[in-house]
A and B are shown apart, each in its own frame.
Chain A
Amino acid sequence: MKFNSDEIASVIQKEIENYSAHIDVREVGRVLEVGDGIAQVYGLSGVMAGEMVEFASGATGLAFNLEENSVGVIILGDYLQINEGEEVRSTGKLLSVPVGDELLGRVVDPLGNPLDGKGPIVTSNRRDVEVIATGVAERQPVGEPLQTGIKAVDAMTPIGRGQRELIIGDRKTGKTAIGIDAIINQRDSGVKCFYVAVGQKESTVAGVVEKLRESGAMDYTTVIVAGASDPAPLQYVAPYSGTAMAEQYMFNGGHALIVYDDLSKQAVAYRQLSLLMRRPPGREAFPGDVFYCHSRLLERSAKLSDAMGGGSLTSLPIIETLEGEVSAYIPTNVISITDGQIYLQPDLFFAGIKPAMNAGISVSRVGGAAQVKAMKKVAGGLRLDLASFRELEAFAQLGTELDPATQARLDRGYRMVELLKQGQYKPLNVVDQILMIYAGTRGHLDTVPVDRVQEWEEKFLPFMSDQKSEVRDQLAGDLALSDELIEKINACIGEFNNQYGFAATPEEQTAKA
Chain B
Amino acid sequence: MNLDPANLPHHETVFDVDAEKLARVYAKAALDAAGDQAQSVVEDLAAIRDEVLSAYPQLAKAFDSALISADEKIGLLDRVFGGKIGDVSLNFLRVLAQHGRLGLLGAVVQSARKIWEERSGQVPVDAVFAQPTDDQTVSQLTGRLREVLGREPLVSVSVDEDLIAGFVVRVGDRVFDASAKTNFELARHAMVARAVEAIQAHPEQFHDSAASDA
Contacts and interface: CB of A to CB of B under 8 A. Distances in A.
Contact of A15 (B176, B183, B191): B191
A85 to B, nearest CB: 4
Contact of A3 (B187, B191, B208): B208
A3 B207 contact: yes
Nearest to A30: B13
A64 to B, nearest CB: 15
Contacts of A45: 172-173
Given A2-B207, A3-B207, A70-B17, A30 B12 contact: yes
Contacts of B197: 124
Interface stretch (B36-44, B76-84, B198-206): B198-206
B195 A11 contact: yes
Interface in B155-214: 170, 172-178, 182-183, 186-187, 190-191, 194-200, 205-208, 211-212
Given A69-B21, A85-B11, A122-B199, A21 B177 contact: no
B17 A3 contact: no
A23 B208 contact: no
Interface stretch (A36-44, A154-162, A399-407): A36-44
Contact of A19 (B24, B187, B211): B187
A23 B24 CA distance: 34
A4 B206 contact: yes
Contact of A69 (B20, B172, B194): B20
Contacts of B176: 23-25
A124 B176 CA distance: 29
A454 B177 CA distance: 73
Interface residues of B, number: 36
A27 interface: yes
A398 interface: no
A187 B187 CA distance: 44
A123 interface: yes
Contacts of B1: none
A43 B208 contact: no
Given A28-B173, A122-B199, A4 B207 contact: yes
Contact of B17 (A16, A19, A32, A85): A32
Contact of B175 (A8, A12, A27, A123): A27
Given A23-B178, A25-B177, A29-B173, A84 B11 contact: yes
A506 interface: no
A11 B17 contact: no
B67 interface: no
A84 B13 contact: yes
B14 interface: yes
A2 B211 contact: yes
Contacts of B15: 32
Nearest to B15: A32
Contacts of B24: 69
A136 interface: no
A323 interface: no
Contacts of A42: 13, 17
A84 B183 CA distance: 25
A1 interface: yes
A85 B13 CA distance: 6
Most buried by A among B14, B24, B173: B173
A63 to B, nearest CB: 13
Given A25-B174, A27-B175, A42-B17, A122 B211 contact: no
Contacts of A26: 174-175, 177
A24 B183 contact: yes
A26 B205 CA distance: 37
Most buried by A among B14, B17, B176, B186: B17
A129 interface: no
Contact of A124 (B14, B174, B200, B208): B200
Contact of B173 (A44, A67, A84, A123): A44
Contacts of A24: 175-178, 182-183, 186
Interface in A55-100: 67-70, 84-85, 87, 89
A8 B190 contact: no
Contacts of A85: 11-13
Nearest to A45: B173
A3 B183 contact: no
A28 B206 CA distance: 39
Nearest to B214: A2
A183 B68 CA distance: 71
A7 interface: yes
Contacts of B20: 69
Contacts of A30: 12-13
B141 to A, nearest CB: 12
A239 to B, nearest CB: 28
A31 interface: yes
A46 interface: yes
A266 B196 CA distance: 34
Contacts of A14: 194
Nearest to B202: A7
B190 A28 contact: no
Contacts of B183: 21-22, 24
Nearest to B190: A15
Contacts of B198: 7, 11
Interface string A406-438: 000000000000000000000000000000000
Contacts of A2: 207-208, 211-212
B178 to A, nearest CB: 5
Contacts of A69: 17, 20-21, 24
Contacts of A123: 200
25 contacts: A3-B199, A3-B206, A4-B205, A5-B208, A8-B206, A12-B191, A15-B190, A15-B195, A19-B187, A21-B178, A23-B177, A24-B186, A25-B176, A27-B173, A28-B173, A30-B13, A40-B17, A43-B173, A45-B173, A68-B21, A69-B17, A69-B20, A85-B11, A85-B13, A122-B196
What 6 A-B pairs have minimum CB-CB distances, sorted nearest first? A2-B211, A24-B177, A4-B208, A85-B13, A43-B173, A23-B178
Given A11-B194, A40-B17, 13 more contacts: A7-B205, A8-B199, A14-B194, A15-B187, A16-B191, A19-B190, A24-B175, A25-B175, A32-B17, A45-B172, A67-B17, A122-B200, A124-B197
